[in-house]
Amino acid sequence: MFTQLTNIDSAFKLSRWVTIAVIQALTCLSAYVVYQSYRYAAEAREKIYILSNGKVLEAWGAERKDNIPIEGKDHIHTFHHLFFTLDPDDKMIQDGVNKALYLADASAKQQYDNLKENRYYSNIISGNISQELQTDSITLDVNQYPYRFVYRGTLRIIRATSIVYRTLITEGYLRNVTRTENNSHGFLIERWNTLENRDIKTINR
């Protein structure tokens, strides 16, 4: 009889340990499944699908701080391209400058007003002059805020009888603003100033 009770007690202890082991295993499995679910959900949130010309393209999201050098330089390039690439068409000039002014503060508007007052745009239209800007380099210091930049480019001014090449060096600062349809990078150029703008070469046509 005592042997039977001992066997029952051993069987009970064994079943208890098996039950505990199964519960622990299921707990670990559940925790692993929850962890993987959160990880996959986080990865899915970072995926971006872009529809371009009827094709779906996959992209990946990233922290804003990781993209500051790339987005900041593109913002600076876009602003200078819109502001300085001109053709002898009043509407084209106005459209380009208006888009550029969304990307900068009053310092850019002040330079635009000065150029307009000095009949710069009127002379482009009356002289059938085209002006193209090529970006040579953009230096952006992301170790300080606002981010200071120096832009270097070459202006190509096409006249009826000649093509003039001019250096263009400007400086300014970038600060963060809300992204909008008119300012997709979410930066604003401040204290924009022209350091150099001089002729370097003239070619007769």
Q: Provide, for the chain, the percentages of residues in helix, strand and coil under a 3-state DSSP scheme, each rounded to the nearest 5.
A: 45, 35, 20
Q: Is the Cα torsion angle 135, 163, 194, 112 positive or negative in sign?
A: negative
Q: Is the pLDDT of residue 203 over 90?
A: yes
- Chain segment 134-151, per-residue pLDDT in tens: 999 999 999 999 999 999
The domain segmentation of the chain, as residue ranges, is 2-48, 63-204
Closest of 75, 101, 73, 97 to residue 85, by C-alpha: 97
- Two structure tokens written together for 38: 């959160």
**How high does pLDDT run on average in the chain?**
85
Instruction: Note the residue count of the chain.
Output: 205
Distance, in Å, from the CA atom of 36 to the CA atom of 181, rounded to the nearest integer, reads 36
Residues 63-71 have a mean pLDDT of 76
Closest of 120, 171, 122 to residue 150, by C-alpha: 171
**Given this model, what pLDDT does residue 48 score?**
61
- Chain segment 180-197, per-residue pLDDT in tens: 999 999 999 999 999 999
Residues 82-109 have a mean pLDDT of 96
**Given this model, what pLDDT does residue 19 score?**
81
**Given this model, what pLDDT does residue 12 score?**
63
Can you count the helices (H) and strands (E) in the chain? 5, 6
**Given this model, what pLDDT does residue 5 score?**
44
Could you tell me which residue, 110 or 62, shows the higher pLDDT? Answer: 110
Could you tell me which residue, 196 or 14, shows the higher pLDDT? Answer: 196
Could you tell me which residue, 186 or 32, shows the higher pLDDT? Answer: 186
Residues 19-34 have a mean pLDDT of 80
Residues 147-163 have a mean pLDDT of 96
pLDDT interval class at 28 (50, 70, 90): confident
**Given this model, what pLDDT does residue 2 score?**
43
Fold of 63-204: Nuclear Transport Factor 2; Chain: A, (3.10.450)
